[in-house]
């Protein structure tokens, strides 16, 4: 059985797969190609193991980045600069978590994640073995974990190359701008638009997040 430390090592995106994905996307989607030319090589990377990825996603929900990072730093400071193991988080006094800046709702959600891992209903190993749909179904049974969090888990903790986060504002806004839509695309519209990107929708989504960095057409 691997050590706890070994389980914290996230799977990585294969650089050759990312190169193959970029070649395919450039060929299939001229509009997306413009973003890719400006943004350069795909920077999609795996950031955390599944357990920590879920904690972080919930912590960052509905918060501005700077505020969320400040709370994250205070929370990790309680545990020696890292996210706590599930059992330690469950044993932490609520007053300490509140002092770090966590709301009662977020505390409940983080503890629900910790309980799922502590009780064995979820595990890093099991999630890595599941297909994408099974991961979404499993993690969204946990309080505070919705579809968006599940999609972030798939992309940034499990290195899945064909994820389309249909509820992500940045992806929807990027699609609206790039394809000159009148409004943010609904999930079904985004799914249809993304059909040519299969099986590399995670890579395409990463580039949609870069659309707002594009210079205006007149600037070159």
d(CA 41, CA 26): 12
CB atoms within 10 A of CB 207: 25
One-letter-per-residue 3-state SS of the chain: CCCHHHHCCCCCCCHHHHHHHHHHHHHHCHHHHHHHHHHCCCCCCCCCCHHHHHHHHHHHCCCCHHHHHHHHHHHHHCCCCCCCCHHHHHHCCHHHHHHCCCCHHHHHHHHHHHHHHHCCCCCHHHHHHCCHHHHHHHHCCCCCCCHHHHHHHHHHCCCCCCCCCCCCHHHHHHHHHHCCCCCCCCHHHHHHHCHHHCCCHHHHHHHHCCHHHCCCHHHC
Q: Catalytic site residue 168?
A: yes
Contact 214, 180 (CB under 8 A): no
Among 49, 168, 182, 213, the active-site one is: 168
**How many CB atoms are closer than 10 A to CB 112?**
17
Q: Which residues are catalytically annotated?
A: 168
């Amino acid at each position: 059985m691997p050590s706890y430390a070994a389980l914290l090592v996230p799977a990585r995106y294969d650089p050759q797969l990312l190169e193959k994905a970029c070649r395919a996307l450039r060929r299939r989607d001229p509009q997306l190609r413009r973003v890719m030319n400006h943004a350069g090589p795909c920077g999609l990377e795996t950031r955390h193991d599944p357990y920590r990825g879920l904690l972080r996603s919930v912590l960052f929900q509905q918060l501005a980045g700077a505020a969320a990072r400040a709370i994250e730093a205070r929370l990790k400071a309680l545990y020696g600069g890292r996210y706590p193991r599930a059992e330690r988080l469950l044993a932490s006094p609520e007053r300490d978590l509140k002092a770090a800046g966590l709301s009662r709702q977020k505390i409940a959600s983080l503890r629900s994640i910790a309980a799922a891992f502590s009780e064995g209903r979820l595990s890093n190993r099991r999630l890595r073995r599941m297909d994408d749909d099974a991961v979404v179904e499993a993690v969204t049974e946990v309080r505070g974990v919705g579809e968006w969090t599940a999609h972030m888990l798939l992309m940034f903790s499990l290195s899945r190359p064909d994820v389309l986060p249909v509820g992500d504002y940045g992806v929807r806004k990027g699609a609206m701008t790039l394809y000159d839509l009148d409004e943010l695309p609904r999930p079904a519209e985004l799914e249809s638009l993304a059909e040519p990107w299969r099986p590399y929708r995670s890579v395409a989504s990463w580039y949609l997040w870069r659309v707002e960095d594009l210079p205006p057409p007149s600037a070159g």
